[in-house]
Amino acid sequence: MGACRIQYVLLLSLLGFSPCSDTLTCQDGSMMKFGKNFTKEAVEWRVDTTAIMHGNTLMCQETLLLIDIGEKSVIMGSKGISKVAGKSRDVKVYSTGPGIVAASYVHFCDTNGCNRANSTSVLLDSLSLSGHKEPGSIQCPACLDFKGSCNLSAKLVFCPKDTKCYAGSLALHGGSLSTYVDIVGCLNSSYQFLLSNQSTIGIIDVKETLEPMSSNSFSHVLVLSSLLAWMFGLSPLLSPLFAEICPLC
């Protein structure tokens, strides 16, 4: 009888069931990738490690955050164990464009290895982007990079109609992920915050800080544009243009 019980337990283990209800095994790891066209092309999302924890109300989790400014994309992901109660799967789109796109995928589940998504298609399959791309008349810097890097690499782009210049930074901590990202680009004119000023995405703590476009980090862009306008006698046209460019000043 004892031998049969052992075989039964082994069979359950092979099928992904744990003989101990308070033990959970989950895929574990984080990723951060910069690239282009991540809103259109899925990125591989695999981890080689697992985490095992004993306790009650444990959940496996997987979280993705996608940011795209048109010129560049970043995808950040986390897998691991959480004590957040309740199974759920949710895709949230904060900004559909035109201009900056921001969206997240969050999944909590309670069986061994259930956080097994192997690409960002779990997010892209539910991502519907705005088809409105009528060109506008204002220009904004565009940059997506680690915090502090955009002051060296921002370049001007023409923004779509009904968008404004956005400059902000995201601090993300939790789920083996800890990073700061600068985001500069064109955002829907009706938005103030890119991520709706929310403080968490899955188990990741998020802090969004708005950066005034007139700050020192972009002074080289504004000073150069002012100088060129003065040299070519365009200074009367500059004030209304920069009134559009600096809505956060």
pLDDT in tens, 46-84: 998 999 999 888 999 999 999 999 889 999 999 999 988
pLDDT in tens, 191-229: 999 999 899 999 999 999 998 875 444 433 433 333 333
pLDDT in tens, 161-174: 999 999 999 999 99
Per-residue pLDDT, 129 = 85
Per-residue pLDDT, 215 = 40
* pLDDT above 90 as % of the chain: 58
Instruction: Tell which wins on pLDDT, 237 or 113.
Output: 113
Number of Cβ within a 10 Å radius of residue 212: 13
Kindly tell me if the per-residue pLDDT of 17 is higher than 60: no
Query: Which structural domain range is residue 155 located in?
Result: 2-245
Region 24-52 average pLDDT = 94
Report whether 77 contacts 31 (CB < 8 A). yes
Number of domains forming the structure of the chain? 1
Per-residue pLDDT, 18 = 46
Per-residue pLDDT, 217 = 41
Report whether 175 contacts 197 (CB < 8 A). no
